[in-house]
Amino acid sequence: MILRGGSEQFIDEVERSLHDAIMIVRRAVKNDSIVAGGGAIEMALSRTLRDYSRTVPGKEQLIIAAYAKAFEVIPRQLCENAGFDATNILNKLRQKHAENHIWFGVDIMHEDVSDNFTAAVWEPAVVKINAITAASEAACLILSVDETIKVPKSSAEPSNAAKAMNMG
Identify the CATH number of the domain in which residue 127 sits: 1.10.560.10
pLDDT at 115 over 60: yes
Q: Are 38 and 78 a contacting pair, CB within 8 Å?
A: yes
Q: Among 33-37, 141-145, 147-151, 154-158, whose mean pLDDT is lowest? A: 154-158
Co-location of 5 and 65 in the same domain = no
Closest CA to 115 of 32, 33, 39, 29: 39
Residue 87 lies in a domain: yes
Co-location of 38 and 26 in the same domain = no
Residue 41 vs residue 151, higher pLDDT = 41
Residue 26 lies in a domain: yes
Structural domains of the chain, count = 2
- Residue 75 CA to residue 130 CA, distance in Å, equals 18
Co-location of 77 and 1 in the same domain = no
Residue 139 lies in a domain: yes
Q: What is the pLDDT of residue 99?
A: 97
Co-location of 50 and 26 in the same domain = no
pTM score, two decimals?
0.72
Q: What is the pLDDT of residue 40?
A: 98
- Residue 61 CA to residue 49 CA, distance in Å, equals 10
Co-location of 59 and 15 in the same domain = no
Q: What is the pLDDT of residue 5?
A: 77
Residue 115 lies in a domain: yes
Residue 156 lies in a domain: no
Range 104-114 average pLDDT? 97
Q: What is the pLDDT of residue 24?
A: 76
Co-location of 55 and 70 in the same domain = yes
- Residue 151 CA to residue 135 CA, distance in Å, equals 29
Q: What is the pLDDT of residue 91?
A: 97
Residue 157 lies in a domain: no
Domain that holds residue 121: 34-146
Range 127-146 average pLDDT? 91
Co-location of 13 and 86 in the same domain = no
| Amino acid occupying residue 24 | I
